[in-house]
Amino acid sequence: MRGVIWLVLLFVAAVVVATALGRNDGLVSLYWNGWRLDVSLNLFIVALVGTCAVLMLAMRAVQSLVSLPTRAHAWRLQRREQAAQAALRDALGDYFGARYSRAQKAAARAVAIHDSTPELAGDLQTRTLAHLLWGASLHRLQDRPRRDRQLAQLKKLRRMPGAAQRGTDDGVQLMAAEWALDDRDAQRALALIAELPPGVARRTHALRLKLQAQRLADQPEEALRTARLLAKHQAFSPMAAQSLLRSLAGLTLDAARDADQLERAWRELEPADQTDPYIAARAAQRAAALGNPALGRQWLLSPWQRLPELGRDERDAVALALIDTLPGLPSDWLPRLEAAERALPTDAAVQAAVGAAYAERQLWGKARGPLERSAAATALGSTARRASWRTLATLARAEGDEARAAQCHAAASALT
């Protein structure tokens, strides 16, 4: 297509020249020192155009000759910049290919090219990336002293005028926090994350690092808040988020050293956490361990009332937690126990809790059936079954049946 266009333009030019110059009878007379030269106007125009073209080509040739050193220097600079970029690409590929020794050598080569080329001193972003890859490779090689020297170089680059772009700067900070976590230095990691701008600190990766550091530093309350933010950002699957929140809430409750601290920790939980059966059961067991079973029963009241709606594992957690909070059980719990016994007659954990509660109230006749069902349930944990057998032994001894009591103790001892 381009050839056709040029052919058409050539024909057009030929037509224009033939029309303008074909019947031109003009003359041009040139006088010089008594001499006269007459030439046709067409020849004069062609000669003038040719002379101008020759002069222009001569000027361009002279200009190219004069600028040759500058262009040669620019060419050499471009080649060095391309070599630095190629070394940086090699370092990146080797790093992701787990060839860390080769990656740090390639990154060092890129830095050396920049050091030996003053004109590249302004390319701080490339230099920062090279130092970052160099340090990351050394970190993978467990060469911490040299890695820290690279980190010091990165800090110097950040303080230089016209420092690297914000994204690279944030990447350096996040990478340093990740290295601190790998070194098991939680306080340093938290300090580095605290230096991030607010927008960067709310990014998912930054929150993940913060969560790891808080868990490593044994700060369950702060870790729970961070985990909630991550769950809102959908950083975990729903099941993983629920499991993590339950675990951190349990650690927060376990950190309480007395009932008052435990109650404060419970009040600081979100309503969704307080209605979670697992968390309520954990809190109740902790309250019982701290000598306040009544407080634990208060927290178990809500999940116990909706016991039939819960899953099997959730019912087991609530029922076994109730067993721990039975001392001082008031009589207003009896209707709730009877309702649970009727609603879940085949649930071993619920039967164990109901039987133990009846025994706590010394309602031995009502306690026997649930205790026997729970003691015989192989799906129930050995600890709860052992407690049921021992309660049955106490009941048999109260009735004067020593043989039955011995059998119950033997059954309890046989459980591992």
Helix 382-398 vs helix 402-414: angle between axes, to the nearest 10 degrees?
170
Does some domain include residue 328? no
Token pair listed for 281? 């059961």
How much is the pLDDT for 286?
Answer: 92
Token pair listed for 1? 């297509």
Token pair listed for 22? 């074909």
In contact, 158 and 169? CB cutoff 8 Å? yes
Range of the domain at 102: 76-164
Q: Residue type at 351?
A: Q
Does some domain include residue 363? no
Beta strands in 3-159 (DSSP E): 27-32, 35-40
Q: In this model, does residue 89 exceed pLDDT 90?
A: yes
Does some domain include residue 17? no
Name the pTM for this structure: 0.72
In contact, 350 and 344? CB cutoff 8 Å? yes
- 131-145, pLDDT tens digit by residue? 889 999 999 998 899
Residue 392: name the closest of 366, 414, 372, 363 by CA: 372
Does some domain include residue 347? no
With cut-offs at 50, 70 and 90, classify the pLDDT of residue 152: confident
Residue percentage of the chain with pLDDT more than 70 = 96
Q: In this model, does residue 408 exceed pLDDT 70?
A: yes
Does some domain include residue 127? yes
How much is the pLDDT for 101?
Answer: 92
With cut-offs at 50, 70 and 90, classify the pLDDT of residue 283: very high
How much is the pLDDT for 164?
Answer: 47
Does some domain include residue 46? no
Give the mean pLDDT of 289-314: 90
Q: How many domains does the chain have?
A: 1
pLDDT, mean over the chain: 86
Alpha-helical (H) ranges within 141-219 are 144-159, 166-182, 186-194, 198-201, 204-216
Does some domain include residue 126? yes
Helix 312-324 vs helix 382-398: angle between axes, to the nearest 10 degrees?
50
Does some domain include residue 389? no
